[in-house]
Chains A and B, each alone.
Chain A
Amino acid sequence: MSIELDCYRSMLRIRRFEETVLDEFKRGVFSGTTHTSMGQEANAVGVISQLNADDVIVTNHRCHGHYLAYGGDMRALFAEMMGRSTGVCGGRGGSQHIHWRNLYSNGVQGGIAPIAVGMALAEKRKGNSTMVVVFIGDGTFGQGVLYEAFNMASLWSAPVLFVVEHNGIAQTTPTSQALAGSIPARFAAFDIESVELDTSDVIPISTAASNLIASVRDCRRPAALILNTARLGPHSKGDDTRSVETLQALREQRDPISILGNRLEPGDADAITGEVVTEVKLAFEQALADPYPQTPMEAAQ
């Protein structure tokens, strides 16, 4: 039961963080852009909770959930997105370019995949048991470099787990209008074992991730976890072209927080909710009071 409570707390922290981000964007607290992962929290928590401390996480533009599930400081991510000096990267990176401990994110589709493979090969060469997890989406499959990464990961037996968060929509483009063939067949073509789930329940995701992570770690071979999931929010801040009915149905059927919350004792869920709301509010207020970086920034001439 405590695992379920931990997962619930971890997912709710991500949800509340991102709800705050979208709300406060409207008030001008944040600048630039952001990509929230509401609805996909079970993927972040389910996979990352199964990693060892030394393992490496490579993630993408939709990375807040991965960072928070990994244990990244909430205030520092708020501050990063507010452009403050206390941000994860001192305000240089913003929402989608963060690095903390062994987590690395970048905002360009596809390019992170070979980087993750290279990291895995480096760790393998060191002779330790560290492995790499890289999060990609269904939209990433449009990038050719991804297939170069699959090929070399398999060819050179890189200990890397490709986690596909298949939310069915790339920005506004449905997968059916962008992807021919199947995702499992793509991995099969490169002799990479894959497991496909169609759930937003964090518990089976954790179990599948645990098994695959053990396999990658022990066999020093790549594997793939394909998570059919649902993006409950917009791609970015307000650019959702799906119908109200579609979104409503997704929220009713595919919200990982409701799915797990319905199994918890009401008192437990309420207590966690109260704590998380307080934590997020405090982190937000602290970040808001943090200083901006020193300017002007100058390149050497």
Chain B
Amino acid sequence: MTTVLEALNCALLAAMDADENVILLGEDILDPYGGAFKVTRGCSEAHPDRVILTPISEAGLAGIASGMALRGLRPVLEIMFGDFTTLLADQIINHMTKFRWMYNDSVDLPLVIRTPMGGRRGYGPTHSQSLEKLYLGVPGLTVLAPVSLAILPAGRDGPGPLLQQAILGTNSPVLFIENKLQYLQTVSGLSDLSEFDVRVEFSADDTAKLYPIYRLTIKGAPEPKITLAAYGAMADLTREAVIRLAYEKEIFSELVLPTRLAPFRLEGILDSVGHTGALLTVEEGTRTLGWGAEVLARVSEIPGIGLKRSARIAAQDLPVPASPVLEASVLPQVDTIIEQVQKMV
């Protein structure tokens, strides 16, 4: 049984083995510590000259990684907590994502920024946020979020392949959104998902089939009455909600899980909504102006889609409290999803 953490760790090692231009930079990432969440464990032992321990200088590091990428390397930058990505916002928005386009597509900038978002560990207001929505809609930035599934044969998908492909196969900046709780989650294969029928699809523009969209329905169940859309670690909570809704409430739903959040595409979600007529988005970031808001806006703009009921589940528009009791009341829970779905069908 592989965890998401192990899958990502293997992907880093494999990417470094595959291409000597891959360089890791980050704070406290050297062995034996191996990074605050251990994702880089073993990398500096395997490739001591290609793992760079850095000062606490996120903005400068992002610039250095961009410069390296512009001159032919494939840097991978670890930002210890997703909350700290605000420190490199200028580098993301005004530098690394602008160069290729404003230089008339004359440069490549292959750079992956990995960072864990998310709460539920009691780390409090500045170490628990899910800030990825701030970076959705930045032209030129690909935002990926793995889910804890690996369905396709020959190990083609899953958190590890998604990261490895981002490092080795893309020539523009990627923000790779990990999640602290997801690290410990087991990566489920088809045999672990006996309750589900699982489909893997790809957006029309994703011709290389790099960014899976997973669609899960309860095996042998009647037609789903509602579409649930989620990403990242919320995929796990939403999957649990789908099972409990089916077995405890006899409410059947389809779960759609994109792994690429930007550029923004609606495939999978749209097709599902076309059948169910109801859509609930689930995210851990704050509710206002978030991913779910954009999904619902775009779906509602499609003529004839037949969206009759829609809602968002997200964190309250509050900082994430440190107290476990308060934190649980601010962040969406499995029960929150179940209760909302019951109101909608």
Contacts and interface: CB of A to CB of B under 8 A. Distances in A.
Contacts of A88: 104
B66 interface: yes
Contact of A300 (B57, B69, B107, B263): B263
Given A106-B94, A111-B90, A145 B102 contact: no
B61 interface: yes
A148 B55 contact: yes
Contacts of A97: 98, 102-103
Interface string A136-160: 0000000011001101100110000
Contacts of A98: 103
Contacts of A104: 70, 99, 103, 107
Nearest to B298: A301
B106 interface: yes
B59 interface: yes
A118 B68 contact: yes
Given A97-B98, A114-B59, A118-B65, A89 B70 contact: no
Nearest to A145: B59
Interface in B274-290: none
Interface string B47-64: 000001011010111111
A94 B234 CA distance: 43
A12 B98 CA distance: 32
A108 B57 contact: no
A299 B107 CA distance: 19
B277 to A, nearest CB: 23
Contacts of B73: 122, 125
B73 to A, nearest CB: 5
Contacts of A126: 72
Nearest to A102: B71
B32 interface: no
Contact of B57 (A89, A116, A151, A299): A151
B101 A148 contact: no
A108 B95 contact: yes
B64 A114 contact: yes
Contacts of B63: 111-115, 117-118, 145, 148-149
Given A115-B66, A120-B67, A299-B139, A145 B95 contact: no
Contacts of A193: none
B205 interface: yes
Contacts of B62: 114
B91 interface: yes
Contact of B104 (A93, A151, A299): A93
B53 to A, nearest CB: 10
Q: Indicate the member of A56, A88, A111, A123 with the most B CB atoms within 10 Å.
A: A111
A133 interface: no
A111 B57 CA distance: 13
A294 to B, nearest CB: 13
Contacts of B68: 118-119, 121-122
Interface string A75-116: 000000000000011101100011100001010100111111
Interface of B: 23, 52, 54-55, 57, 59-73, 75, 90-91, 94-95, 98-99, 101-104, 106-107, 139, 205, 263
17 contacts: A90-B104, A92-B104, A93-B104, A99-B106, A106-B98, A106-B99, A108-B94, A111-B90, A112-B95, A114-B91, A116-B67, A118-B64, A118-B69, A122-B68, A122-B73, A126-B72, A148-B57
Given A92-B103, A152-B55, 6 more contacts: A89-B102, A111-B59, A114-B64, A117-B60, A123-B71, A148-B57
